[in-house]
């Protein structure tokens, strides 16, 4: 099943370490998104990008960073500044345009050791 690939599926981080989550898509979508999912809180937008070399903060960007050097890739770095990084992270992509359906990956579960 192609589309959006997130890796790894599970990730463990020590306190004080940065960690990067991978998201790759082969749908030729211009827009990509990162969400964080916590129990009972639904999905919250971290960052999104509509074009290569450009991205915008979402609702909870503090402690995270992203890059968009290629259309297919939108990696998310969880920095040591993120005080509560344990969560499920979902990547999505879509064509440009208001209301275009977002296509989601399988997610990465990040845990702090």
Instruction: Please give the residue ranges that form the binding site for another protein (CB under 8 A).
Output: 31, 35, 40-45, 48, 50, 56, 58-59, 90, 92, 94, 96-106
Quote the least distance from Cβ 71 to another protein, whole Å.
Answer: 16
**CA torsion sign, 60 to 62 to 5 to 74?**
positive
Q: Which is nearer to another protein, 16 or 99 (CB)?
A: 99
Q: Which is nearer to another protein, 3 or 112 (CB)?
A: 3
Strand partners, 66: 76
Residue with tokens 């920095």: 79
Count how many residues are written for the chain. Answer: 113
């Amino acid at each position: 099943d192609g589309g959006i690939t997130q890796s790894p599926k599970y990730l463990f981080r020590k306190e004080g370490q940065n960690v990067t989550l991978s998201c790759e898509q082969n749908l030729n979508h211009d827009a990509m998104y990162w969400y964080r999912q916590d129990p009972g809180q639904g999905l919250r937008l971290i960052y999104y990008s509509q074009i290569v070399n450009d991205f915008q903060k979402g609702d909870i960007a503090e402690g995270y960073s992203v890059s968009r050097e290629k259309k297919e890739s939108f990696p998310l770095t969880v920095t040591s500044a993120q005080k509560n990084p344990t969560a499920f992270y979902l990547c999505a992509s879509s064509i440009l345009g208001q209301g275009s359906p977002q296509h989601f990956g399988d997610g990465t579960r990040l845990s702090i050791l």
